[in-house]
Amino acid sequence: MWESGGPLTIADSALLWVLLFSGMFLGAGPVLACPESCQCVEQSGLTVVQCASRNLDRIPPDLPRDTAVLLLSSNRITSIPDHAFRELRHLRELDLSDNRIETVDAGAFRGVADSLSSLDLSRNRLSGVPKEAFARLRATIGLSDNPWHCECSLQEMLRELRLDPETVNRVVCRTAEQAEHVGQPLIRVLDSGVNLCNFHRKTTDVAMLVTVFGWFSVVTGYVVYYVRHNRDDARRHLEYIKSLPGGTRITKDLDTVSTVM
């Protein structure tokens, strides 16, 4: 190696060029370093990123692009934003259990729908998820132990999913549009022949009927008020005319005109 301040030899110059070009190529590589809060290991040729129990409040943005298994359980994550895993084209397993997730955006899993085989969202704070969020997902999904609100949109969403068979009975209605379903496993409610969307349509029809009746009552009340108000004005006007000199004769003339008309 050359000394600081000394002249460069041919060998030193060659070494500098090798280091320069190596740095350029390494810097242009697509694989990112492991996030500081996580641990990245290789198992059976797959990159496993261990971020469980790291007190994270969001999904790390600088995950390695060759991540195949991503473990984010037991953190403080509250939401899954759009395109959260867009760069992880090789992602197979995703564990988000035991967090505080309340919202999942419609495009949360866009970009990994074809590669993902396992998704765990158990033990979070989900009461509902947009149907679009799980579009095209073929993964086995765990949704147990969340405070689900059982209504039509949840029923339609679950029809398209492959739920984890071992935990499907723990997808329980914390709240529901029909009180008798509260505390019941959703799969049991649906297996009994109940269609939550029929109840939703009936509720919508009743609400529409009440709205129409309300508008009709308002319009009717306004017409009645308008007629009575004009009738009182006309009576006061005739009384005023009668009070004028010659008012009695004018009133008789008006009555005659009204009779002719």
261 has pLDDT over 90: no
Q: Looking at residue 143, what is its pLDDT?
A: 97
DSSP states of 44-92: TTEEEEE-TTS--SS--S---TTEEEEE--SS---EE-TTTTTT-TT--
Tell me the mean pLDDT in the region 173-200: 87
Model-wide pTM > 0.75 = no
Instruction: Quickly state the pLDDT bin for 233 (edges 50, 70, 90).
Output: low
Tell me the mean pLDDT in the region 121-137: 94
Model confidence pLDDT, tens digit, residues 209-223: 445 445 555 555 555
104 has pLDDT over 80: yes
Model confidence pLDDT, tens digit, residues 172-182: 999 998 889 99
Give the residue extent of every domain in the chain: 31-194, 207-260
Q: Looking at residue 136, what is its pLDDT?
A: 87
Instruction: Quickly state the pLDDT bin for 11 (edges 50, 70, 90).
Output: very low
Query: Is residue 70 a contact partner of residue 89, using CB atoms and an 8 Å limit?
Result: no
Instruction: Quickly state the pLDDT bin for 168 (edges 50, 70, 90).
Output: very high
Tell me the mean pLDDT in the region 193-205: 64
Helix (H, G, I), strand (E, B) or coil at 189: helix
Model confidence pLDDT, tens digit, residues 23-48: 333 433 344 589 999 999 999 899 99
Q: Looking at residue 18, what is its pLDDT?
A: 36
How many angstroms separate the Cα of 148 from the Cα of each of 31, 89, 184, 205? Answer: 38, 30, 11, 25
CATH number attached to the domain at 31-194: 3.80.10.10
Instruction: Quickly state the pLDDT bin for 237 (edges 50, 70, 90).
Output: low
Helix axes 247-260, 196-243, angle to 10 degrees: 130
Q: Looking at residue 33, what is its pLDDT?
A: 84
Tell me the mean pLDDT in the region 1-10: 43
- DSSP, res 173: E
* Distance, CA of 34 to CA of 178 (rounded, Å): 48
Choose among 24, 75, 79: nearest CA to 53: 75
